[in-house]
Structure formats: C-alpha cells, structure tokens
Structure 1
C-alpha cells in the first residue's frame, strides 16, 4: 500500500518548474529520500487522478557551510530529493 502523503512532500514552485508545466506537461515535486520512481508515479496518479508516463529523480546533496555564529565550525545546508513527473498528453494537474 502506498501512502502518498509520505512520498510526496511538496510541489516545487520555481520559474523552471512553471515553464516545464506550461510547455512540456512536466511537474516537479520534492519527495521522500527513500522513494523510488514507481512509488512516486503511483502516488501522483493516486492523488491527482492522472496517468504518469515518465519520472526523473534528482538527488541534491547537502552543502557544507561555515557557520560564523559557531566560531567557524562547519555545518550543513540541507539536501533533498526531487522528482520531475511527465504526464500523459491531455492530463494536467490543477494547483492553486
């Protein structure tokens, strides 16, 4: 059983994501770190009632940053996993 709320964390709203949605029918989501392509496709299909044709997964690794408030000790800036989901021609996701 797929719990879509655990897999799909949030919709990514950027200029590039808006351009992909308008022109190529692709939508960008931040997903759980342990999610794979099939789980993401099933979760999107279940939540939005659309047919998914392709899923691309990208892992953004955390960056090391020097924290001046802690006397120069390094800290990390969070990484995340995102998925670019391509939908079948004619399907769309309405996001307010």
Structure 2
C-alpha cells in the first residue's frame, strides 16, 4: 500500500509551492520518515522537512422537503513537504 494518496491542490497549497512546500494527502498510519522516502522516490527531489496534520471529520446536516439528512466527513492526514532549494515538483507533467 502506498503512503501517498494524492496531492492536495488548493489555492492555499499553490501559494506554498513558491516557497518549495508541497501538500499531500497521506495514509493515517504513515510517519514523517515514510513520507519523505516516498516523495524522494516518486518525484526525484531531496526532502528537507515534513510537517503532518490530522484534519478531523465534522458532522454535516442538510435539509430536504421531507427530512433532515445528517452525515459525517472523513478524517484525513495531510503532509506538507519542504524540498531542498532549487528542486521542483511538477504535478501537471503527465497531463
């Protein structure tokens, strides 16, 4: 099973790309060492630091004509990877 699930491409994460920081969604059981090894192997860059964040799921409700529908969003783990100065990860290279 892969440690990296997908890159997170949002306005805020695109702003961090100019500083050499890239955001990924990772598996819940992964640690910083595993994440750094996977990014180095997959993208061919040198990782200088990794910061991890758990974004806990929240309860959401929606009203319809007949009832209230309630659910919960998923809990995910994010990693912000800082690469060595001069290295670049291009997510759009394969498109």
**Greater helix share, structure number:** 1
Q: TM-score range by the shorter chain?
A: 0.7 to 0.9
Aligned equivalents of 2:91 and 2:69: distance in 1? 41
1:64, distance to aligned residue in structure 2 (A): 1.6
Q: Which runs of 5+ in 1 are unaligned?
A: none
CA root-mean-square deviation: 1.7
User: SS state of the match for residue 82, structure 2?
Assistant: strand
**Residue 76 (structure 2) aligns with:** 80
TM-score, normalized by length of structure 2? 0.85
**Residue 28 (structure 1) aligns with:** 23
Q: Kindly report structure 1 stretches of 4+ aligned residues shifted beyond 2 Å.
A: 65-69, 71-75
TM-score, normalized by length of structure 1? 0.84
1:46, distance to aligned residue in structure 2 (A): 0.5
Count of residues in correspondence between the two structures: 91
1:61 corresponds to 2:56: yes
User: SS state of the match for residue 22, structure 2?
Assistant: strand
1:65, distance to aligned residue in structure 2 (A): 2.2
Q: Which runs of 5+ in 2 are unaligned?
A: none
Aligned equivalents of 2:40 and 2:59: distance in 1? 36
Deviations 1:21-75 (A, max 9, x none): 02x1000000001111000000000001110000000000011223557x54742
